[in-house]
Structure 1
Amino acid sequence: MLDIFRGLKSLIRVSHIHIDSPVFRLHYSLTVLILIAFSLIVTTRQYVGNPIDCIHTKDIPEDVLNTYCWIHSTFTLVEPTQSPGRRAGYPGVSTTTQDKEKKLYRYYQWVCFCLFFQAILFYTPRWLWKSWEGGKIHALMMDLDVGVCSEIEKKQKKKLMIDYLWENLRYNNWYAYKYYFCEVLALINVIGQMFLMDKFFDGAFLTYGLRVIEFLNSDDEDRADPMVEIFPRMTKCTFRKFGVSGDLEKHDSLCILPLNVVNEKIYIFLWFWFIILTVLTVLVLVFRVMIIFSPRMRVYLLRMRYRLIRSDAVDLIVRRSKMGDWFLFYMLGENVDSVIFRDVLHELANKLARHNFHHISGFKGDMTEP
């Protein structure tokens, strides 16, 4: 199983250039890796064995019966009048009568495709942000993430970065809002996928984790295993064929689904993982709202994250810039060498101070003219 994850590491590589938050990276890196690995696991007989094994008679070849029941789905019998502690045999497997409702299981053929489709959806916000970002941070870095270069080259690159930041000051709001939209899209995706899987499992997924916790804490005699109800290990399958006289013969067969032992573990993990992702993403978005409406929060974050920068320089930069500029500065600080980034922001603050002084002096001069 470790070989699967080793092979997928080359597909999901997180760049050393950070253009997003750690929580956002969990959506498109670790989650995509997990979903693709699960998709491969459920299709690999090395770990699961045969996905279905049905008890057959001599009249029906084993491969024919297994293939038929896999394609046309299996079923269990719903017995609402029986309490969990009084069930005889395996839950849902008994003689078929008219007063018992059949519950069909059609999902297991589609689990690998659904997991792969979920991985694509989780990567979509990252793809969208990467196309909108257009390599802006990478271009502004100019290999200054490592401060080992000649002083002349370092000075030239810092001047280019300062000139760009100065010329585009107060014009970066859309840059930040596009990224925040992608974070909102990531939250919509993870919540939407929980409802998608709830539909996939006939309304049983949203409460799946809570029911498992309740099952583990209940008495042995009175509890019904929700993992067995959603992912049964034994089901029934009805096969019809024509006999030697031309009459239709009905064969009621028991089928074992070893794949569901893996499926139940996969989806209980995904339930808890999606809940954790949802909570973390909501907290990040609340944090973004605070950043948008609170300049003091932006000052505090820059001071805490980049302690080499003077407090008065941070105050001046945040006061004279907009939220999008702050976001660009913060992302640059994540990627550029800390000493170089300090020098860049100090020089930018000096330019802002000089510009403010000239503007005020010119304004006062105009007032003194007759």
Structure 2
Amino acid sequence: MLDVFRGLKNLIKVNYVHIDSPVFRLHYSITVILLISFSLIVTTRQYVGNPIDCIHTKDIPEDVLNTYCWIHSTYTLKSFFNKKVGVEVPYPGIGNSREKGREDMSDRKIYKYYQWVCFCLFFQAMLFYAPRWLWKSWEGGKIRALMMDLDVGVCTEIEKKTKKKLILDYLWENLRYHNWWAYRYYLCEGLALVNVIGQMFLMNRFFDGEFMAFGLNVIEYMESDQEDRVDPMIYVFPRMVKCTLFNKFGSSGEVERHDALCILPLNVVNEKIYVFLWFWFVILGLLTFITLLYRLVIIFSPRMRVYMMRMRFRLVRRDNVDTIVRRSKMGDWYLLYILGENLDSVIFRDIMHEFANKLNHNYQHHIHGVPDA
């Protein structure tokens, strides 16, 4: 099984330069790895068995019938899910569709999704990585360039002083010009939230409207009397289905109609995958929504920026934080916050101290340089 996932090792690289939030990293790291892993699992027959096995007659070769039923879809009968298994029906959703004298096509629940699960999971993984790709192209390596290996404080004093001066010069020369840079990152976080919500609707369409409440139905079923309810996992991911009719010519030239009873071993895996994804997407969506609310507070509340900077970087003096937040814009604050998460804490403290002094000196010079009215 480990051989299947060796190709994913490049996605699990630990990046020591953080240019985004932990919640945003959940979208393009863990979620992408999970989706690609699930896509690989459902395509490995040696671990999940044949995707479909049908009970066949001697007139039709086994491989032909299995392939036909896999390609043309299968179905169950909705009215047979509520009947007692072993007495009225052999399995939920399985029974004689002509017992009332005619075949009711509206009673059929058609299953076609199983052919596309692996492709859909891989496509979802690409969608989750898209906001990360967009932010990397917009960020352009700015944080890595500003770090200059100062994430480790072990270097000569001359080198340290030179690098700190370069950072201070950049911050001073580009003061108040980082708002658009920060807003583009916030836009990527917004796209990540839109993606999670959109994927819930995508999977709901994929499963014919059964996915949106799938997790809630599973919880409700587990807490209720199971004899009185239909198992939502069997309803959406049946293990036993009926095959669409297979027509062939008989020995006398008449068209003979054959139907088959098929087992879908892959659905035992599919149901676990999508139960997990339902809860994971809900949790991820809530965390991302809370993060965006936090971003709105940061944009409109300088006091919150001061509080967050003080809580995160306790070595930095309070008056320095107050000065920087008061005399810079939100984008400058976000750039400093990200830099602080990547630089050595002592070096970052010194940079903040010198930057605050420079802002104070410029402010005092500006005040005294203005003639009295």
C-alpha separation in 2, matches of 1:194 and 1:2: 30
State the Cα RMSD in Å.
1.5
Counterpart residue number, 2:164: 158
Counterpart residue number, 1:175: 181
What TM-score do the two structures reach when normalised by structure 2?
Answer: 0.95
Q: SS in structure 2 opposite 1:8?
A: helix
* Counterpart check, 1:28 vs 2:28: yes
**Are the counterparts in 2 of residues 18 and 331 from structure 1 also a CA contact under 8 Å?**
yes
Task: Give the letter aligned to residue 168 of structure 2.
Answer: I
Q: Identify which of 346, 350, 361 aligns with 2:357.
A: 350
Q: Identify which of 186, 190, 201 aligns with 2:207.
A: 201
* Counterpart check, 1:306 vs 2:313: yes
Q: Identify which of 103, 124, 128 aligns with 1:122.
A: 128
Q: Deviations over 1:47-101 (max 9, x none)?
A: 2100000011111111111011001111111217955688522111111223532
Greater mean deviation of Cα atoms: 129-138 or 238-247: 238-247
Q: SS in structure 2 opposite 1:170?
A: coil
Aligned in 2, Cα 1:87/1:322: closer, same or farther, shift over 3 Å?
farther
**Are the counterparts in 1 of residues 241 and 263 from structure 2 also a CA contact under 8 Å?**
yes
Task: Give the letter aligned to residue 10 of structure 1.
Answer: N
**Are the counterparts in 2 of residues 14 and 29 from structure 1 also a CA contact under 8 Å?**
no
C-alpha separation in 2, matches of 1:209 and 1:75: 23
Q: Deviations over 1:144-172 (max 9, x none)?
A: 11111111111111100000001101110
C-alpha separation in 1, matches of 2:216 and 2:293: 26
- Output aligned runs, 1:34-73, within 5 Å: 34-73=34-73
Counterpart residue number, 1:11: 11
Q: SS in structure 1 opposite 2:116?
A: helix
- Output aligned runs, 1:97-246, within 5 Å: 97=98, 98-100=102-104, 101-237=107-243, 238-246=245-253
C-alpha separation in 1, matches of 2:224 and 2:27: 34
C-alpha separation in 2, matches of 1:281 and 1:313: 31
Counterpart residue number, 1:315: 322
C-alpha separation in 1, matches of 2:129 and 2:294: 23
C-alpha separation in 1, matches of 2:300 and 2:4: 45
**Are the counterparts in 1 of residues 82 and 230 from structure 2 also a CA contact under 8 Å?**
no
C-alpha separation in 2, matches of 1:23 and 1:134: 21
Counterpart residue number, 1:92: 93
Q: SS in structure 1 opposite 2:314?
A: coil
C-alpha separation in 2, matches of 1:310 and 1:174: 28
Aligned in 2, Cα 1:300/1:255: closer, same or farther, shift over 3 Å?
same
Q: SS in structure 1 opposite 2:153?
A: coil
Aligned in 2, Cα 1:203/1:66: closer, same or farther, shift over 3 Å?
same
Task: Give the letter aligned to residue 43 of structure 2.
Answer: T
* Counterpart check, 1:339 vs 2:340: no
Task: Give the letter aligned to residue 233 of structure 2.
Answer: M
Deviating 4+ runs (over 6 angstroms): none
The answer for unaligned runs of 5 or more in structure 2 is none
C-alpha separation in 1, matches of 2:69 and 2:48: 18
C-alpha separation in 2, matches of 1:355 and 1:10: 48
- Tell me the matched-pair count: 366
Task: Give the letter aligned to residue 229 of structure 1.
Answer: Y
Counterpart residue number, 1:250: 257
Q: SS in structure 2 opposite 1:79?
A: helix
Shift of 1:30: 0.1
**Are the counterparts in 2 of residues 299 and 318 from structure 1 also a CA contact under 8 Å?**
yes
Percent identity between the two aligned chains: 71
Counterpart residue number, 2:275: 268
Q: Deviations over 1:191-213 (max 9, x none)?
A: 00000000000000001001100
Q: Identify which of 360, 363, 372 aligns with 1:367.
A: 372
Q: SS in structure 1 opposite 2:50?
A: coil
The answer for unaligned runs of 5 or more in structure 1 is none
Q: SS in structure 2 opposite 1:193?
A: helix
Q: SS in structure 2 opposite 1:309?
A: coil
C-alpha separation in 2, matches of 1:245 and 1:297: 85
Task: Give the letter aligned to residue 207 of structure 1.
Answer: A
Task: Give the letter aligned to residue 120 of structure 1.
Answer: M
Q: SS in structure 1 opposite 2:346?
A: helix
**Are the counterparts in 2 of residues 13 and 29 from structure 1 also a CA contact under 8 Å?**
no
Shift of 1:293: 0.5
Counterpart residue number, 2:291: 284
Q: Identify which of 290, 295, 311 aligns with 2:302.
A: 295
